[in-house]
Amino acid sequence: MAKLWGGRFALDSSSLLEEFNASIMFDKELWNEDIQGSKAHAKMLAHIGVLTGEEYKAIVDGLERIASMIQADEFVFRMADEDIHMAIESKLTELVGEVGKKLHTARSRNDQVAVDFRMYVLKHNKLITKLLLETMETILHIAKAHTKTILPGMTHLQHAQPINFGFHLVAWVCNFKRDVQRLESDFARNNFCPLGSGALAGTPYGNDREMLALELGFSAPTLNAMDSVSERDFALDMLYTLSMIMMHISRIAEELVLWSSSEFRFISLSDAYSTGSSIMPQKKNPDVPELLRGKSGRVYGNLIGLLSVMKGLPLAYNKDTQEDKEGVFDSLKSVHISLKILKECLKTMSVHQDNMLRMAKIGHLSATDLADFLVQKCNVAFRDAHHITGMVVAYAERKGVDISDLSEEEILSIDKRILSGVKEVLCLEKSMNARDTLGGTSSRRTMEQIDELSAFVNEHQSLLK
């Protein structure tokens, strides 16, 4: 089959080159964007007088027939067509005749793929944003029910201070809030239309690039034709943001794995989102969070892959950038399913409040409150207070109890500088609620954070409508 670009070639392409060169088997994902871009380009060509009204109508009718064929799974994608752009143009000419050959006037595959891919990335930017907001909403709903549920807050994976479970969940949501903000920033930075740039230097046809940008929903045309066809920052921005999202998901997944273990038993995952062992019939494995944790690696790899492709490319377009799409498609698919299943996994899990409280009584979580009491009420220097608290902890360790279980008389006997009333500050609930500054773990402050994040979610969901 003669290539649309093959006029100066004496020999046909080898079958091996066709297989190596073709991208049609993966860039067919861009068919809808390619048809949208082609419609806008045809309208612009009619506007500047390259196409007559009848020619424009024939081309648009043909493109819509192709769209219907693809949607009905009646379109045959052929390796010989190389890419989605050539496949659609070849079919268009077959359907509408010679006028179909006019569509490519005043454009190149360089600006064509740049606009298709950019539109695809921006569309999925909105889809991922929507899923993030839904996941945030789910977590906040759980957090609201647990602002008084005490569990050990940890540093170095060691028991540190008492917090409430809702407070811990709010920390997860704060991560996702930043991801939403990154996506919004990416969208605003990249919402510019490269179509009309031609191969690298513009065109002599007087393309109305403002019209193209408006037709396709961009905020404006890109500034420089050479940059427009050769940069893939928009794809790298997306891959970086997806990597950040997966990093946050992976950290949540790690905690779900830990918390569902027999050693913690803070939560139980639903049977619907767990699996068993092929040899050990008693096992209930947290495969969903483990897979979520593992998928972060492939998303990171896609980011590094495209960075490596782009790092040494001279301007303008190079065929290397054909390697820009598969990693983006794969990462978007991974993040899409990951957010959906994380949301369902969280909605269906059981929270074991009694075990959380029991574990909060291990590790002397209110020790810092004793030190603060010595400083604030007993006029003891913090370094001395730290030392005295250590003595109380050592005493409790020898007895095999938590310091919150010691009697006031026992504590007073350890150092004469300790004043009465000390027992009260060692209560885990009081310790948690004592951290009542902005951003703290008290039930009141946790609810403030939930309300603020809920307002953020509602506002940004309304912006997507």
- In the predicted model, is pLDDT for residue 2 greater than 80? no
- In the predicted model, is pLDDT for residue 240 greater than 80? yes
Instruction: Specify the amino acid at residue 136.
Output: M
- In the predicted model, is pLDDT for residue 16 greater than 80? no
- In the predicted model, is pLDDT for residue 172 greater than 50? yes
Give the tokens for residue 141. 């709903």
What's the topology of domain 113-357?
Fumarase C; Chain A, domain 2 (1.20.200)
Please report the sign of the dihedral spanned by the C-alpha atoms of residue 437, residue 443, residue 447, residue 450: positive
Is 277 annotated in the active site?
yes
The residues pairing with 285 across neighbouring beta strands, listed in sequence order, are: 275
Q: What is the dihedral of CA 167, 173, 174, 176, to 10 degrees?
A: 160
- Of 39-53, 194-208, 265-279, minimum mean pLDDT range: 265-279
Report the candidate in 323, 312, 286, 247 with the shortest Cα–Cα distance to residue 20.
323
Report the candidate in 301, 327, 328 with the shortest Cα–Cα distance to residue 128.
328
Q: pTM value?
A: 0.92
Higher per-residue pLDDT: 154 or 2: 154
User: What's the pLDDT tens digit per position in 100-152?
Assistant: 999 999 999 999 999 999 999 999 999 999 999 999 999 999 999 999 999 99
**Would you tell me how many other CB atoms lie within 10 Å of the CB of residue 284?**
13
d(CA 147, CA 168): 10
Higher per-residue pLDDT: 10 or 392: 392
- In the predicted model, is pLDDT for residue 1 greater than 90? no
Give the tokens for residue 193. 């239309």
Over residues 289-313, the mean pLDDT reads 97
Catalytic residue among 14, 277, 308, 420: 277
- Which pLDDT belongs to residue 5? 45
Angle 106-110-111 from CA coordinates, rounded to 5°: 60
Q: Where in the chain is the domain with CATH 1.10.40.30?
A: 367-426
Reported as a pLDDT band with limits 50, 70 and 90, residue 381 is very high
- Of 8-12, 38-42, 209-213, minimum mean pLDDT range: 8-12
- Which pLDDT belongs to residue 275? 85
d(CA 285, CA 365): 30
Domain 15-105 is found in CATH 3.40.50.720: no
User: What's the pLDDT tens digit per position in 68-111?
Assistant: 999 999 999 988 888 999 999 999 999 999 999 999 999 999 99
Is 197 annotated in the active site?
no
Q: By percentage, how much of the chain surpasses pLDDT 90?
A: 89
For domain 367-426, give its CATH number from 3.30.365.10, 3.40.50.720, 1.20.1260.10, 1.10.40.30: 1.10.40.30
Reported as a pLDDT band with limits 50, 70 and 90, residue 13 is low
Over residues 205-215, the mean pLDDT reads 98
CA 294 to centroid of chain Cα atoms: 15
d(CA 377, CA 419): 8
Q: Where in the chain is the domain with CATH 1.10.275.10?
A: 15-105
